[in-house]
């Protein structure tokens, strides 16, 4: 029997703040497109200090992003400051540094639409 009810010890706003802070730090260090699996590994290892728990069990930060935001890719795709490059079977992530200058890193602008494809009218 599966349990789909999760209780986290942080608010959604705090989770978003932690995610943006860690992801931008990681992507700034490389200064080039980073493979998604490497980003996930670094995100999990750097977020251990935050102690994000569900039902008193330790969970990694990417599990939190999967449950609350639908996954790392969905989270990144919701914000304009991250670029997702899909090439063959590999997914890379890049920080759109020029977009960061005008926005607060804690609350970057979201995408205009939730559509996965372009909509032409």
In a domain, 111, yes or no: no
* Total domain count, the chain: 1
Residue 69: what pLDDT? 87
Count how many Cα atoms sit within 13 Å of the Cα of residue 37 in the half-sphere of its side chain.
2
CA nearest neighbour of 82 among 60, 100, 59, 56: 100
We report the CATH number of the domain holding residue 57 as: 1.10.10
In a domain, 28, yes or no: yes
Higher pLDDT, 39 or 108: 39
**What is the tally of helices (H) and strands (E) in the chain?**
5, 5
In a domain, 56, yes or no: yes
For the CA atoms of the chain, what is the radius of gyration?
15
Q: What is the pTM of this model?
A: 0.75
Residue 88: what pLDDT? 86
CA nearest neighbour of 19 among 86, 89, 83, 66: 66
Higher pLDDT, 8 or 89: 89
Segment 31-37 shows an average pLDDT of 91
Mean pLDDT of the chain: 78
pLDDT of residue 108 exceeding 80, the answer is: no
Range of the domain at 62: 12-100
């Amino acid at each position: 029997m599966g349990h789909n009810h999760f209780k986290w010890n942080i608010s959604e706003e705090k989770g978003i703040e932690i995610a943006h802070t860690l992801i931008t730090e990681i992507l700034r260090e490389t200064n080039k497109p980073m493979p998604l699996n490497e980003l996930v590994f670094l995100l999990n290892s750097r977020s251990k200090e935050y102690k994000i728990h569900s039902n008193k069990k330790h969970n990694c930060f990417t599990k939190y992003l999967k449950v609350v935001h639908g996954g790392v890719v969905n989270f990144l795709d919701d914000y304009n400051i991250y670029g997702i490059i899909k090439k063959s079977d590999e997914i890379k992530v890049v920080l759109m540094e020029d977009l960061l200058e005008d926005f607060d890193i804690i609350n970057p602008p979201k995408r205009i639409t939730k559509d996965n494809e372009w909509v032409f009218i």
